[in-house]
Amino acid sequence: LSAIPLINSVRNYKWRESLTGDCVSGLSVAFLHMPQGLAYGLLASLSPVSGLYSSFFAVMLYVVFGTCPHISMGTNSVLALITAAMVERELSALPGDYFSSKLSINLSLENVSGVVSQEPTDEEEISFKLTAAMASAFGSGVLLFLMGLLRVGFVTSYMPSSFVGGFTAGAAVHIATSQVSPCV
């Protein structure tokens, strides 16, 4: 039962006092996550609806497995940028004839010809990017799940605050500079 804190929270929940306020705050957080999810989907070099799905399922998983009922967890810009870099790297590493397996056949009474399209369509690229992002997310989830089972969280107590602050500042600078070219 300690692995699923939601069970204990439901047992001790004060339904009459807290339900209305929790519903209002839940809707507020949902309306906050909608535009963020759309933006993070684009920032991750995926479709906007992918960002909505990741925002929704991240929050739902935190509801079940999270330890603090007052936190709104979801996607963030650092993860979106890391995902975009990984997805673009995997797309550029594909062999040139990867997408040419699509054969469009032009049938008519006069001739029968098969024309092979060498250029990938946007749908094919987006589908590949989504597959790569899902595989990466699944692998990361399995790794984090195993780390949770093995109780490896104590390692974070050995990270000095200057390291965490430097990482956060570096991430902020990277996010700001990566968004200059789309703004110009």
Residue with tokens 């909505």: 52
Q: Is the pLDDT of residue 99 over 70?
A: no
Q: Is residue 111 part of a domain?
A: no
Residue 59 in contact with residue 33, Cβ under 8 Å? yes
**What is the predicted pLDDT for the residue at 114?**
46
Does an H or E element contain 152, and which? Answer: none
Phi-psi sector, 71: left (phi>0), alpha (psi -120 to 50), beta? beta
pLDDT value of residue 104: 43
The token duo for 131 is: 């597959």
CB 55 within 8 A of CB 36: yes
* pTM of the full structure: 0.70
Q: What are 146's two structure tokens?
A: 């195993």
Instruction: Let me know if residue 181 belongs to a domain.
Output: no
Answer whether residue 14 is part of any domain.
yes
Assess whether pLDDT exceeds 90 at residue 162. yes
Q: What share of the chain is helix, strand, coil (3-state, %, to 5)?
A: 70, 5, 25
Whether the per-residue pLDDT at 130 is higher than 90: the answer is yes
Structural domain boundaries enclosing 15: 5-92+123-154
108 has pLDDT over 50: no
pLDDT, mean of residues 95-120: 50
| Residue 7 scores a pLDDT above 80 | yes
Note whether residue 99 is domain-resident.
no
Work out the average pLDDT over 126-147.
Answer: 92
Q: What number is the average pLDDT over the span 92-112?
A: 56
What pLDDT was estimated at residue 120? 56
Count of beta carbons in the 10 Å neighbourhood of residue 82:
15
Q: How many structural domains comprise the chain?
A: 1
53 vs 49: CA distance, rounded Å: 6
Q: Is 176 inside any structural domain?
A: no
The answer to whether position 104 is within a domain reads no
Residue 62 in tokens: 């935190």
Domain membership flag for residue 165: no
Q: Residue 101: which pLDDT band, with cuts at 50, 70 and 90? A: low
Angstrom distances, CA of residue 89 to CA of 63, 67, 103, 110: 33, 35, 26, 44
Domain presence at residue 26 = yes
